[in-house]
Structure 1
Amino acid sequence: MRKIALALALVSLSAATAVAQQPPGGRLGTGLPVPRYVSLKTDRVNLREGPSKDHRTAWVFQRAGLPVEIIAEYETWRRIRDSEGTEGWVLHSLLSGRRTALVMPWAKGNQPPISLFDKADEKGGVAAHLQPGVITNIKGCDGKWCRVVIVLDGARDVDGYIQQEKLWGVYPNETVE
């Protein structure tokens, strides 16, 4: 009888431990799809080692509009990943649903400029030449091409089309409206 009681106590303890160690992604805060892309709302976003302000800041992002991928949710915290694969936790209020993307952040060395076309066709006119790492605002994607806007300054923007595969911040074949 003691063995049964001890076994039940151990089962209860291991169940409680399993709940306590449940991956933070197990408790969704929004019900929105995970993973999904969002962007940083401000120029200063602390990336933490865990989902609370008690956890150490591992990195500080300093680029509003930078696209990041939400890979888990826990209450008001979101586990994100950037284009370089760095992961950590940020408070949900520091993120925006505004869709942005980076132009070929994986390109290294003497990469020729990436063409931004005036229509969704490689035979179209070139609206601009972009360097890898440029942040674009996504206006829409059809699964192959994305219409994007690059903000140059307060008075001018460049609007055009880029092949979706050249962007980090949209999934392959994803449509964005």
Structure 2
Amino acid sequence: MPKAMRGICLFAALALCAHAAQALEFRTAAKHGVVLYEAPSEKGRKLFTLSRATPLEVLVEQGDWLRVRDHKGSIAWIKKKDASAQRHLQVIKAGSVHREASAKSAVVFKTEPDLLLEMLENTKTGWLKVKHRDGLTGFVRIEEIWGL
């Protein structure tokens, strides 16, 4: 392979690796009744409102606004001040929260879709330590949640 072609291939490979290494950024609705807009302006059409702690994937930051996506794929704009850095997760399929990071450990509580959980720790083993709003804590499988 000619030297120039190797250089182009190496550059392309590095660019793809850099793109894949970018982590997703998530925020949560900071309060109940946060309004999401069609455009980054309060004059934009109001699309829907969110409950406190609903996780949102940040797509773009523009001044005092964030363009975000929810777990269903809806895209809208939110005022930056209405988004919190505190991490919450949304259950996407029914499952269980376990006492330990193991499916064989005792079940602390059952989950249903749309339940919101506070993320306490990413164990990097496929399990996340979470907290229910009632104070119960345990571990959930990453494939059962959205917002990580």
Q: TM-score, normalised by structure 1?
A: 0.67
Aligned to 1:124: 105
**How far apart, CA to CA, are the structure 1 residues paired with 2:58 and 2:129?**
23
State which of 45, 48, 72 in structure 2 corresponds to 1:56.
45
Task: Tell me whether 1:148 sits opposite 2:124 in the alignment.
Answer: no
**How far apart, CA to CA, are the structure 2 residues paired with 1:34 and 1:161?**
22
Q: Could you say if the C-alpha distance between residues 35 and 51 of structure 1 is closer, same or farther in structure 2, counting changes exceeding 3 Å?
A: farther
Q: Does structure 2 retain, via aligned residues, the 8 Å contact 1:141–1:164?
A: no
Q: Does structure 2 retain, via aligned residues, the 8 Å contact 1:139–1:146?
A: yes
State which of 46, 52, 75 in structure 1 corresponds to 2:35.
46
Percent sequence identity over matched residues? Answer: 23
1:1-177 alignment to 2 at 5 Å? Answer: 35-61=24-50, 63-104=51-92, 107=93, 113-143=94-124, 144-152=126-134, 157-170=135-148
Q: Does structure 2 retain, via aligned residues, the 8 Å contact 1:148–1:160?
A: yes
Q: Could you say if the C-alpha distance between residues 94 and 71 of structure 1 is closer, same or farther in structure 2, counting changes exceeding 3 Å?
A: same
SS of the residue aligned with 1:51? coil
Cα deviation 1:70-109 (Å, max 9, x = unaligned): 11110110001111111111110000000000112xx4xx
- Unaligned regions of 5+ residues in structure 2, if any? 1-21
Q: Does structure 2 retain, via aligned residues, the 8 Å contact 1:34–1:72?
A: no
SS of the residue aligned with 1:128? strand
**Which protein is bigger by CA-based radius of gyration?**
1
Aligned to 2:5: none
Instruction: Report the alpha carbon displacement of residue 34 of structure 1 after superposing the two structures with TM.
Output: 7.2
Q: Could you say if the C-alpha distance between residues 58 and 34 of structure 1 is closer, same or farther in structure 2, counting changes exceeding 3 Å?
A: farther
Cα deviation 1:39-74 (Å, max 9, x = unaligned): 00011111111112221212222x101111111110
**How far apart, CA to CA, are the structure 2 residues paired with 1:162 and 1:35?**
20
Following TM superposition, the consecutive aligned residue runs of length 4 or more in structure 1 with deviations greater than 2 angstroms are none
**How far apart, CA to CA, are the structure 1 residues paired with 2:46 and 2:23?**
23
Number of positions where the alignment pairs a residue of Structure 1 with one of Structure 2: 126
SS of the residue aligned with 1:151? coil
**How far apart, CA to CA, are the structure 1 residues paired with 2:45 and 2:101?**
45
**How far apart, CA to CA, are the structure 1 residues paired with 2:89 and 2:97?**
14
- Unaligned regions of 5+ residues in structure 1, if any? 1-32, 108-112, 171-177
